[in-house]
Chain A
């Protein structure tokens, strides 16, 4: 058994060897499923998720998914329907989550609302954008990974959007009960840190400081919140850099391979 999070103060090292302001390794790919309109695969440390986007398309029979945007009669904008499936093998104790699991429903609706804030849904009235997310492995910061994967898949699907919706988590190095006001903020929590420390998930619109999602489910002194939020927003900017690189690299390769023609707006792309 490794040490727990209380060992941080000994050498300013976290349980996995990171410093307070370091992200885990993020690895992402887009267009992983050629047949889908948009698809992506994303790893943040050992948290691994897959996303497939279908649409915008005509709405089929309604399913039990969380939607945002158009509801009911006025279909002036496209509906963003999100479904999250958590694989039984994704976590250590193989707990099976039902389709109507409360946490799952909340994840779906949070993601749907976050995407709807960035996607130009008004361009696609009377239609549905179906976002299917699959969780393959869990090691903390699940919501953040799901939002990032969904953003990448939407980019791949070519749905117009204002900017990337990027997310990450932030925490604090000591527990709520310890009441340590000088605790360092932490970026990108893994599972163990999520279990032991207070944390929040924040998503921003691209490089701006505009917060699209802020979820805090743990108890933390209000004095520490500002520091955590600042670190989280800063982390979002780093995540955007990484995702942007993934998209540009993929685009560059596609142009080189001749899959797509070098079109307008791509002049600035370095193709050597």
Chain B
């Protein structure tokens, strides 16, 4: 009987094969042992241009191409390594200071070890992607050295050695190998190979082994602009010191281990969800979990336990006697922690004030008899995933010690993020003097138990506060909008003819294949004034049988943007065009968006057309889809079109056809309303700009014109028709848009307010019922009241979202707001990526082109949907923030009195909405009079009665007169709209 045991000894290859064993736990909590083979080799080059011996062994790909060597033959030197050097950072160096490596002033010729890349990928995917991006950049010269696969640098884990120790040893081994290897080259004085690590133990061992090693700070000090760069290094040493100094003074409870959290969540004892901070109270957060119909409230710093808005956390529900009502008091971080000293860590005076603020809250809740309103409370016991990003903010002037403003000493200051939901960030910098009064970009590094505030580091300055450039960039960064110019690879995908591109004259040209010639139709477009990216155009004409042919023609973007090329990838990352007041950040390059795709008048353009035969009652008799060539006769603005329709003397064919479209659109609208479509509202305003300087001069509320509904109705009809068609063709992978029915509890508060204050009943069984009951909420004396209620109702709604049809059951497709079964976006492919995908799917569905992988792969589509949902939301918020900023700028130096309405009421203040500016602002009791008036708050009836220094009673929905002005807050240096109470009506 022959032994089956592998005869390792006799195998010549065996010495070069190693195994990698590791343990991983799956999502379901199972533990798996994975064994992988590793083939060790000697043909992995060092990639230094100095080295001749590696040239011979450089690998080739299947096409015989070699990867060119990366590391420079004459790398830059530092004060300690004047002969030049290559850097070998460890994982923590990248984790803590990736921004440093992206600098253009230093950090060239970097060797990224495979083990470091692996560890980085496990710790942070975004950072991994940034690093991979750096390795692809030609001028940064980052080389990935696969140390784990090279025979000489492979390191086996020793018995009793921790994984981290082994990996550190692997890094040192690789550094040592590089040193020996380069010494063998002919260069007289070769570059030094320098390891970068902040781990003290690792540094010590490196010194023992005789290899060059520096901590990040030591290294940066050797560079020319060291002081500037030094700020970008997180202060780990400092934090270690604090830990050692005061082990007992920990401010926050410890987090549970990951496995404890997982078992807790699985058994239902703990709950997992995304942590959201209340916009009015920085000490109150909420988290929605499936087990409770109402969201859980998390009150107080200790219970919030270092969670930051957006983090994925695990919470434990507190006992029922600690359940509370949501806060009715405004608590602002700035007001409470204003005098905090950034150097003093455990200053209890501040937390005392916080506790007092919350205590008053608790007292109020305790005295209440209405148990039914109490909401479950919870505390954070652990964080699964941080959602930290880069934050825009500015230095809190009051946290700066005067004397420090000159010296180069490192100072600790507070950064106040633009986003109010983010706590202040503690930061050490040497450049306080330069950074004061600037918008700066910072990041959070850590939040230890011993530190009241998160600790971060400086990335870069955006410029002076309140300058247009700085504020616009701040806004784009804050909403993660990709605003860099399109790279060359993207521009290379554009048609070579540029602006001279034309629809080919000859019908035999391949561009005409499968296209219908609709150039003879009287097509026109109707858009806002100054619209350059014209997505859609319309036509209609009577048919002999008494029906009417209507066509919606959409820019044929998918003709120019082919799947998977660089332009498509860029567009899918951007997801949408972002409109700011004075700036548009395009999804596609200008050439396409405003010229070749844009359905401009008087020129021929490719289009994707939806053609219906409608009966005079606007019922669909038949419909079809086709790629086409059109020639728009005119590009109207809404106002122009409206004037034309209203002017009876205009009897030309084009105007009559717009009138016919108008008549049909009204019937379509009526049908939608009958089906229960909601007419929701958000206050929309328009900024009027001085055309020369583009400075805002006035704010106007948007006017609604019939021509706007005209376009909207036909776009809805086209979107619905296309949604049906692509769903029929691709039941699993159609890209659709849904709008979920809002949970009943969302409306509890509003329904109660309406019942108590006005005696209206809000029924929410269906969108129809909601629409009808919203219609009844009318105050005969106050025409705006209905709009106010609609504004408030809109905020109770869910957000609409893109999804891939295979991920939901058909009933879930429903669009609640539009009251239709199925819906997608098709009509704006120039500015929305979802529409572009829908175009490709429709083209495949009508067999105009082959079914591409982007259309078929469900996983890919889900990823696309996820991204564009986020981009879409960010774009909306960026747009709103931009309007808010310009409203403030338009008001600069002016004071006006306006009417407003109270839309939210707290025990120490109330929120007023001013419709004419579309802004809302908080008016606190202490703003009303000095000293702060006494107040009794009747939460049941939403009435706040003041006495003492000011005699006043305000209630919800009340109309008030306010003075609107802009004011620069002295402490925060932030300019914003402020309201001052004038009188109640």
**Interfacial residues, chain A to chain B (CB-CB below 8 A):** 1-3, 7, 10-13, 15-22, 24-25, 27, 29, 31-34, 41, 43, 45-46, 50, 92-93, 139, 176-179, 182, 184-185, 190, 192, 219, 221, 227, 231
Contacts and interface: CB of A to CB of B under 8 A. Distances in A.
Nearest to B20: A2
Contact of B62 (A17, A21, A41, A139): A21
Given A31-B2, A34-B2, A176-B853, A25 B860 contact: no
Contacts of A19: 59
17 contacts: A3-B118, A11-B59, A11-B144, A13-B149, A16-B36, A17-B38, A17-B149, A25-B13, A27-B7, A34-B1, A92-B32, A176-B857, A177-B859, A178-B564, A182-B63, A184-B61, A190-B37
A13 B45 CA distance: 12
B542 to A, nearest CB: 46
B34 A92 contact: yes
A19 B135 CA distance: 20
Contacts of B41: 17
Nearest to B4: A41
A35 B847 CA distance: 62
Nearest to A231: B62
B4 A227 contact: no
A176 to B, nearest CB: 6
A11 B44 contact: yes
A19 B30 CA distance: 33
B958 to A, nearest CB: 57
A179 B118 contact: no
A45 to B, nearest CB: 5
Contact of B67 (A12, A31, A92): A12
A176 B564 CA distance: 11
A18 B63 contact: no
Contacts of B146: 10-11, 13, 17
A24 B37 contact: yes
B25 to A, nearest CB: 11
Given A16-B38, A17-B149, A25-B11, 19 more contacts: A1-B122, A2-B20, A3-B118, A11-B59, A11-B67, A11-B145, A12-B61, A19-B59, A20-B61, A22-B39, A27-B6, A27-B7, A29-B4, A33-B1, A177-B854, A182-B63, A184-B61, A184-B62, A190-B37
Nearest to B24: A1
Given A17-B39, A184-B62, A1 B144 contact: no
A46 B2 contact: no
B118 A20 contact: no
Contacts of B30: 93
B114 interface: yes
Contact of A7 (B7, B35, B117): B117
Contacts of A33: 1
B117 A3 contact: yes
Contacts of B118: 1-3
Nearest to A227: B62
A177 B860 contact: yes
A14 to B, nearest CB: 9
Contacts of A16: 36-39
A22 B14 CA distance: 15
A31 B4 CA distance: 10
Given A29-B2, A43-B6, A13 B35 contact: no
A32 B1 CA distance: 7
Interface string B754-793: 0000000000000000000000000000000000000000
Interface string B270-302: 000000000000000000000000000000000
A225 to B, nearest CB: 14
A231 B61 CA distance: 13
B501 interface: no
B121 interface: yes
B6 A1 contact: no
A224 to B, nearest CB: 11
B269 interface: no
Contacts of A32: 2, 4
Contacts of A15: 36
Given A7-B117, A17-B40, A1 B22 contact: yes
Given A17-B38, A93-B30, A179-B564, A3 B121 contact: yes
Contacts of B39: 16-18, 22, 24-25
A84 B677 CA distance: 60
Of the candidates A179, A190, A227, the one having the most CB atoms from chain B within 10 angstroms of its own CB is A179
B729 interface: no
Given A184-B62, A185-B62, A17 B148 contact: yes
Given A2-B20, A20-B62, A46 B4 contact: no
B136 to A, nearest CB: 9
Contacts of A13: 44, 59, 146, 149
Nearest to A27: B6
A252 B160 CA distance: 46
Contacts of A21: 62
A31 B1 CA distance: 9
B33 interface: yes
B59 A12 contact: yes
B411 to A, nearest CB: 41
Nearest to A43: B6
Interface in B136-174: 144-146, 148-149
Nearest to B32: A92
Contacts of B589: none
A11 B4 CA distance: 37
A10 B35 CA distance: 24
A137 to B, nearest CB: 9
Contacts of A182: 63
A37 to B, nearest CB: 15
B591 interface: no
Contacts of B2: 29, 31-32, 34
Contacts of B22: 1
A190 B13 CA distance: 18
A246 to B, nearest CB: 12
A132 to B, nearest CB: 16
B853 A179 contact: yes
B740 interface: no
Contacts of B918: none
Interface string B1-26: 11010110001011001001010100
A192 B36 contact: yes
Contacts of B34: 92
A167 to B, nearest CB: 19
B618 to A, nearest CB: 41
A24 to B, nearest CB: 7
Interface in B631-667: none
Contacts of B20: 2
Interface string B847-889: 0000001100101100000000000000000000000000000
A139 B37 CA distance: 9
B563 interface: yes
A21 B144 CA distance: 21
B117 A177 contact: no
A181 to B, nearest CB: 9
A18 B146 CA distance: 11
A219 B854 CA distance: 13
Nearest to A2: B118
B47 to A, nearest CB: 9
Contacts of A45: 37
Nearest to A20: B62
A92 B145 CA distance: 30
A219 B859 CA distance: 13
Nearest to A182: B63
Contacts of A178: 564
Given A3-B117, A12-B67, A27-B11, A92 B33 contact: yes
A3 B113 CA distance: 12
Interface in B341-377: none
Contacts of B14: 25
Nearest to A25: B13
Contact of B36 (A2, A22, A231): A2
